[in-house]
């Protein structure tokens, strides 16, 4: 253990967003119930509190390779409205991993909300792998869990970022905004997986400006909408130079749910090559039958297909 | 042993697809052949429970399976390989073989099944069963799942469909190996002479009825001279 005094229920919530106590060493930041709880820095990564706003600045030295930085947030008290600004300044020639995530446990009557605004400034030829998991737990009587993550990504020449974002359970209302701006030879790959149920609402907005020569982006969104939940997917990719862009929105719709996909691709250069694919539909009958011929019940087959689709 | 008694299937629109089929399958490698539209796939699907017959009974080793669901039949020893293998986003080759085996397989076990069907396991085991796989690769994976199940009865619906002849020639060896290694009965719907000549029993269907059942020496000559007749019958 790392000597941090964290109660077992909080550790449990951290586990739900894939953060273990032993991850909270070196360069890390843990935010609990709307306040900084603990943080640390390493030789190459400095994490400091912002002076004017809630949140932190994360500065990564040039040439930092192999470091993993955890910055989880958990809310365990009902009725907290948390707004936080985290700015990442990543130097040149780095290769690092950042694990973020937000878990809300709300068993009170008031809504709990976390709005995390993350800005990434990625230096030349640096590679960043960024993952975030959003998870909530509450009961039908308790207040809503609301998360509105905003991610702003600026990648310099030759930089690469991969973003893996997951929201599978317990988030009642979310508007997820991601904006990317890419320099020459920069690449941004985003994978999003969402599942909504009950009366949940999830909205995703991707906006990527391919400003640099030979820049490229690949946005993949897979989602499952069950019960009475609603989802809206909006993507907007602008190809402003010689570049390539590919967005893919794939949704399984069940019960009384509704899903809308509004893709937009704009080429402002004859050398821009942009593709969008969108598919919304129920689980194919032949997929269920195939798995049933292998011995699964219809319900087991359905679960297998859904879990595979968004895992 | 598979036994089919007075099996008929009439579509909701009133079209007769299967017409009073009576059959005893007591051999281990059986081919079902006949012209397009003769009811071959429908017959296989009624055995697997995918299509519910309008009349008749299906017995497997003496047990009446007519009222069983697809899942119950699968658990009671019926496997079915689709003519067009189904694709799944997010389900890997390793996942599907584990589902087929009914237990979480070790990597080594899953690899063994893939090797049986001539696929280099390391290249395939973590791949998704999606558009990136060719028709021939999907067929082999489908057969690997049948191997993993090794049930009393395995039905193959036109394994040659959708793949080139060269790929199919090498697939025949896989069926031969399956016959040697698996204990149960293999029933293959096919038009391919090499499959038919390997079969111990050939069932010839035409217009939803059984035209003939017998060994290859008996049935193959009928097929050769029968081509024209079927063609005329279809046009009529």
- The pTM of the whole model exceeds 0.95: no
Helices A298-310/A285-293 angle, 10° precision: 110
Helix (H, G, I), strand (E, B) or coil at A23: helix
Q: What pLDDT does B75 receive?
A: 96
Is residue A266 a part of any domain in this protein? no
| Cα A253 from Cα A260, distance rounded (Å) | 10
Cα–Cα dist A159/B191, whole Å: 56
Q: Strand B29-33 relative to strand A258-267: parallel, antiparallel, unpaired? A: unpaired
Is B86–A286 a contact, with Cβ atoms under 8 angstroms apart?
Answer: yes
Least confident of A30-34, A209-213, B12-16, B221-225: B221-225
Contact partners, residue B100, CB within 8 Å, separation at least 6: A294, A295, B144, B145, B146, B148, B149
Give pLDDT tens digits for A80-130: 899 999 999 999 999 999 999 999 998 888 999 999 999 999 999 999 999
pLDDT of A151 > 80? The answer is: yes
**In this complex, do A309 and B145 lie within 8 Å of one another by their Cβ atoms?**
no
Q: Total structural domains in chain A? A: 1
CA of B229 vs chain A CAs: smallest distance (Å): 35
Tokens of A87: 């700015």
Answer yes or no: is B109 within a domain: no
Percentage of chain A lying above the pLDDT 70 cut? 99
A112 found inside a domain: yes
CB contact under 8 A, B86 and A287: yes
Of the candidates B50, B69, B100, which has its C-beta nearest A294's C-beta?
A: B100
Residues 138-157 of B with CB under 8 A from A: 145, 149
Torsion of CA A220, A224, A229, A233, to 10 degrees: 10
Average pLDDT over residues B99-103: 93
Does the pLDDT of residue A291 top 70, yes or no? Answer: yes
Q: Is residue B226 in some structural domain?
A: yes
B132 touches chain A (CB under 8 A): no
Three-state DSSP at A52 gives coil
pLDDT number for residue B231: 44
State pLDDT tens for residues A43-74: 999 999 999 999 999 999 999 999 999 999 99
Residue B214 to residue B222: CA distance in whole angstroms: 11
pLDDT of residue B227: 53
The mean pLDDT value for B5-22 works out to 96
- Please indicate, yes or no, if residue A151 is contained in any of the structural domains: no
Reply yes or no on whether the pLDDT at A1 is more than 70.
no
Would you say residue B126 lies in a domain? no
Residue A104 lies in a domain: yes
- Give the pair of three-digit tokens for residue A220: 């993949």
B44, B80, B88, best to mutate vs chain A, most A CBs in 10 Å: B88
Give yes or no for a contact between A213 and A244, defined as CB atoms under 8 angstroms apart.
Answer: no
Q: Identify whether A16 is part of a domain.
A: yes
**pLDDT of B226:** 57
| A123 CB-near residues (< 8 Å, 6+ apart) | A62, A90, A91, A92, A93, A94, A156, A159
* Domain-located, residue B220: yes
A250 in any annotated domain: no
**A-side interface with B, Cβ within 8 Å?**
222, 250, 284, 286-287, 289-298, 304-305, 307-311
Å between A280 CA and nearest CA of chain B: 13
The enclosing domain of B166 has a CATH number of 3.40.50.300
Residue contact B80–A296, C-beta within 8 A? no
Please give, rounded to a whole number of angstroms, the shortest distance from the CA of A278 to a CA of chain B. Answer: 14
Q: Is the pLDDT confidence value at A3 over 80?
A: no
From the CB of residue A78, how many other CB atoms can be counted at a distance below 10 Å? 18
Point out which residues pair with A206 in neighbouring strands: A178, A235
Q: For B91, which of A292, A293, A304 is closest by C-beta distance?
A: A304
For residue A292, which residues of chain B lie inside 8 Å, CB to CB?
69-71, 74
Is residue B209 domain-resident? yes
Task: Determine the average pLDDT of the residues in A273-294.
Answer: 95
Tell me, yes or no, whether A83 lies in a domain. Answer: yes
Q: What is the domain extent for residue B77?
A: 2-86+150-235
Residue A217 lies in a domain: no
pLDDT of B140 strictly over 70: yes
Per-residue pLDDT of A189-246, as tens digits, reads 999 999 999 999 999 999 999 999 999 999 999 999 999 999 999 999 999 999 999 9
Percentage of chain A modeled with pLDDT above 90: 85
| Cα–Cα distance for residue pair A27/B91, rounded to 1 Å | 36
Is B211 an interface residue toward A (CB < 8 Å)? no
How many structural domains comprise chain B?
1
What average pLDDT does the segment B64-85 reach?
95
Q: What is the CA radius of gyration of chain B?
A: 18
Which residue segment(s) compose the domain that A74 sits in?
1-141
More confident residue, B121 or B32: B32
pLDDT confidence band for A2 (50 / 70 / 90): low
Average pLDDT along chain A: 94
> Which runs of E-coded beta strand occur in chain B?
2-10, 16-25, 29-33, 55-60, 63-64, 78-81, 153-157, 185-189, 201-206, 209-214
Which residues on chain B are in Cβ contact (under 8 Å) with A284?
86
> What's the token pair of residue A302?
């359905």
Three-class SS state of B23: strand
This complex has an ipTM of 0.91
Q: What are phi and psi of B132, to 5 degrees?
A: -75, -15
Average the pLDDT over B180-201 and give the result: 90
Residues of A in contact with B79 (CB under 8 A): 293-294
């Amino acid at each position: 253990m790392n000597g941090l005094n964290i109660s077992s229920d909080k550790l449990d919530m951290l586990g739900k967003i894939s953060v273990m106590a032993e991850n909270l060493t070196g360069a890390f930041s843990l935010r609990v119930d709307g306040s900084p709880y603990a943080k640390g820095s390493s030789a190459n990564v400095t994490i400091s509190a912002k002076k004017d706003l809630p949140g932190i600045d994360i500065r990564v030295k040039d040439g930092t390779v192999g470091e993993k930085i955890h910055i989880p947030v958990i809310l365990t008290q009902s009725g907290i409205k948390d707004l936080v600004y985290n700015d990442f300044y990543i130097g040149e020639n780095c290769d690092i991993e950042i694990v973020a995530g937000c878990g809300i446990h709300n068993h009170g009557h008031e809504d709990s909300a976390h709005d995390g605004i993350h800005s990434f400034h990625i230096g030349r030829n640096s590679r960043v792998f960024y993952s975030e998991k959003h998870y909530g737990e509450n009961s039908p009587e308790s207040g809503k869990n609301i998360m509105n993550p905003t991610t702003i990504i600026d990648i310099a020449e030759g930089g690469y970022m991969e973003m893996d974002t997951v929201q599978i359970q317990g988030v009642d209302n979310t508007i997820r905004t991601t904006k990317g701006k890419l320099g020459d030879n920069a690449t941004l790959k985003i994978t999003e997986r969402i599942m909504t149920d009950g009366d949940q609402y999830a909205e995703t907005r991707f906006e990527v400006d391919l400003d640099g020569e030979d820049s490229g982006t690949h946005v993949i969104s897979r989602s499952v909408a069950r019960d009475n939940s609603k989802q809206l997917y909006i993507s907007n990719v602008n190809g402003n130079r010689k570049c390539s862009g590919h967005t893919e929105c794939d949704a399984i719709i069940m019960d009384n749910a509704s899903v809308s996909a509004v893709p937009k691709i704009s080429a402002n250069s004859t050398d821009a090559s942009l593709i969008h694919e969108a598919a919304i539909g129920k689980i194919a009958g032949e997929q269920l039958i195939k798995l049933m011929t292998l011995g699964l019940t219809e319900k087991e087959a359905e679960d297998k297909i859904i879990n595979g689709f968004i895992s | 042993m598979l036994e089919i008694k007075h099996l008929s299937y009439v579509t909701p629109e009133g079209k007769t697809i299967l017409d009073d089929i009576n059959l005893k399958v007591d051999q281990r490698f059986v081919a079902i052949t006949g012209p397009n539209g003769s009811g071959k796939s429908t017959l296989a699907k009624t055995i697997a429970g995918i299509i519910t017959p309008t009349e008749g009974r299906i017995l497997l080793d003496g047990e009446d399976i007519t009222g069983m669901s697809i899942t119950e039949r699968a658990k009671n020893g019926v496997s079915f390989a689709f003519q067009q293998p189904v694709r799944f986003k997010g389900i890997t080759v390793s996942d599907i073989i584990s589902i087929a085996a009914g237990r979480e397989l070790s990597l080594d076990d899953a690899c063994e099944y893939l090797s049986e069907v001539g696929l280099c396991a390391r290249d395939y085991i973590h791949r998704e069963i999606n558009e990136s796989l060719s028709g021939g690769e999907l067929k082999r994976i489908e057969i690997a799942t049948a191997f993993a199940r090794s049930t009393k009865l395995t039905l193959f619906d036109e394994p040659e469909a959708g793949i080139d002849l060269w790929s199919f020639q090498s697939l025949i060896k896989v069926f031969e190996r399956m016959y040697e290694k698996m204990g149960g009965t293999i029933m293959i719907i096919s038009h391919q002479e090499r499959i038919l000549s390997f079969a111990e029993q050939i069932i010839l269907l035409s217009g939803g009825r059984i035209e003939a059942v017998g060994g290859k020496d008996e049935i193959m000559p009928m097929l050769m001279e029968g081509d024209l007749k079927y063609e005329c019958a279809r046009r009529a």
